[in-house]
Structure 1
Amino acid sequence: MSSSTRLALVTGATSGIGQAFARRLATKGYDVIAVGRRQERLDELVAEFPAGQIRPVVADLSTPEGLNRISEICRQEPITLLINNAGVSHYMGFTDLPTKKASELLQVKVIAPTLLAHAAAPGMVERKNGTILNVAGMLAFGATAPLGEAAGRATYVAALSHLVSLSLALHEELKPAGIQIQVLCPGVVATEFHERQGMDLSAIPRMSAEEVVTASLKGLDTGEVICAPGVEDVTLLGRALHANLQAFSGQSPKLALRYRGK
């Protein structure tokens, strides 16, 4: 996190966790490229800091034009810290989720962060300095959790799981070059996300976006690859990953006994 030139690019910077990241990083002395869809929100953010410290870029990452514009910035500029935070509030049952919304969700939470990391990583590797931070959520570990009152969330959960797997694989691949990777997995956070879906969670205890950012930055300082701000027993995450590797290592080229015979 220490570099003579510190340039952060934050997507989804107009509200919630992304906005909290942009503010915190600017306060810590970063130059920040704040990406979002709402010009007026970006302008308000820019006005909070000295001229030039936060550069607003309006882009919709669900569109090829928006994604290409931000990818080009990631390729051309010396990004120190890339924060893939942008999201959309399409938290719906699988059969109820319109195709257009499903496509937008996958574009914003799967394709965009993957391609932005792909655009930024070569420069980071060349400079031997850089951090890629992907914002997912604890539902990445909760595919089989009871639905409760929710109609379903399969596409959303799958998108978060992609970010966890992508981050873990990038960590293994890029750590020899000194590149730091983190996937941030908060639980329910007090942001506009649920409000945009018409969900009132005001009665439910929720973490603030500022607390999530605090956990993430401290996690980077201690080398956490998976940052789960609300998980007290961090060994739970280690055991989950170990179980995955055990399943992976437990395979053989022979058909398992349970599938043999009549």
Structure 2
Amino acid sequence: MNKLALITGATSGIGRAFADRLAADGYDLIIVGRRKDRLDEFAADHSGVAIRAVAADLSTDAGIDTVAGICAAEPLTVLVNNAGVAHYMPLAELPADRARELVHVKVLAPTMLTRAVVAGMQERGEGQIINVAGMIAFSGPADKSVMPRRAVYAGSLAHLVAMSQTLSAEFDGTGVQVQVLCPGIVATEFHSRQGLDMSVVPRMSAEDVVTASLRGLELGEVVCAPGVEDGNLLDSVFQADLAAFGGQSSDLASRYRAN
């Protein structure tokens, strides 16, 4: 019996590259996306493995509940939370429906799908959960000269980083791995759908991103940054995070006391 992977946002870009790679590796697939025609096309092109196409909109509660139900019921070996949207604009200009869509797709959906799949993976003693974020998760400290600002998008990706790191520790010893995948700019439809022309910007291929992710799992990386050559940079960030966390006290810091 083949191993089974569920991939959201599987109709293009990184999600499509994951689906291609895992199918080539002999996984049966459950592919999730908004466009049923693309899902069906992918299934028709990959006859060597069993593929179930699920048309679902993860910006809605109904879509999330549908896919979460599948995650809870099926013996998944791999869950790839890849679905994404990007609304690059200042918060005051971000329409409420787009803000809600972004939080549903990049925060609520990965949270609920991961929650749904975990019990079965732990019971079986194996599983891999890949949350696709991006290097923008680390862009918060940038000063005001760095544009465009995208607070909700950056915040949603930072959520995936912190959640994945915390879950990795929570699942230690259970056989379940968690990874947060943080590519930079990738050559996909992602930016063009937002009206952004990235054709002159150096971009990594989606296939290379997937190669990094799968190799990162083998290396035991929780945070996988495909374009960061010096892994010590990431270690420095996380050690600084822990130093700040451990440096707290019940006493008011001196800089906040009246002179």
Do these two structures clear the TM 0.5 threshold for a shared fold by scoring above it? yes
The one-letter code of the counterpart of 1:136 is A
- Match in the other structure for 1:139: 136
- Aligned pairs, how many? 259
Q: How does 1:57-206 map to 2 (within 5 A)?
A: 57-146=54-143, 150-206=147-203
Counterpart contact for 2:76–2:127, Cα < 8 Å: yes
8 Å contact from structure 1 (residues 10, 33) kept in 2: yes
Root-mean-square deviation (Å): 1.3
Verify: 1:216 aligned to 2:213, yes or no.
Answer: yes
SS in 2 for 1:50: coil
Structure 2 Cα separation of the partners of residues 21 and 220 of structure 1? 14
Q: What is the CA distance between 1:182 and its match in structure 2?
A: 0.4
Kindly state the Cα deviation for residue 147 of structure 1 after the two structures are TM-superposed: 6.3
**Partners in 1 of 2:103 and 2:16 — Cα distance?**
22
C-alpha distance after superposition, 1:101-158 (max 9, x if no partner): 0000000000000000000001111111101110000010111235667441000000
Deviations 1:159-196 (A, max 9, x none): 00000000000001011212101000000001111101
Unaligned runs of 5+ in 2: none
User: What's the counterpart of residue 16 of structure 1?
Assistant: 13
Change (3 A) 1:159 1:248: same
Q: 1:256 aligns with which of 247, 253, 256?
A: 253
Verify the 8 A CA contact 1:13 1:34 in the aligned structure 2. yes
2:99 & 2:46 partners in 1: Cα distance?
Answer: 36
More off after superposition, 148-157 vs 38-47 = 148-157
Residue number in structure 2 paired with 1:40: 37
Structure-1 separation of matches of 2:240 and 2:18: 32
| Separation of aligned partners in 2, 1:206 and 1:60 | 28
Is the 8 Å Cα contact of residues 189 and 208 (structure 1) preserved in structure 2? yes
Contact 1:93 1:150 in 2 (8 A): no
Identity among equivalent positions (%) equals 57
| Alignment of 1:240 onto 2:245 | no
CA distance in 2, matches of 1:155, 1:225: 23
Separation in 2, partners of 1:6, 1:43: 21
Shift in CA distance, 174/47, structure 1 to aligned 2, threshold 3 Å: same
TM-score (norm 2): 0.97
- Structure 1: 4+ residue segments shifted above 6 A: none
Amino acid at match of 1:33: I
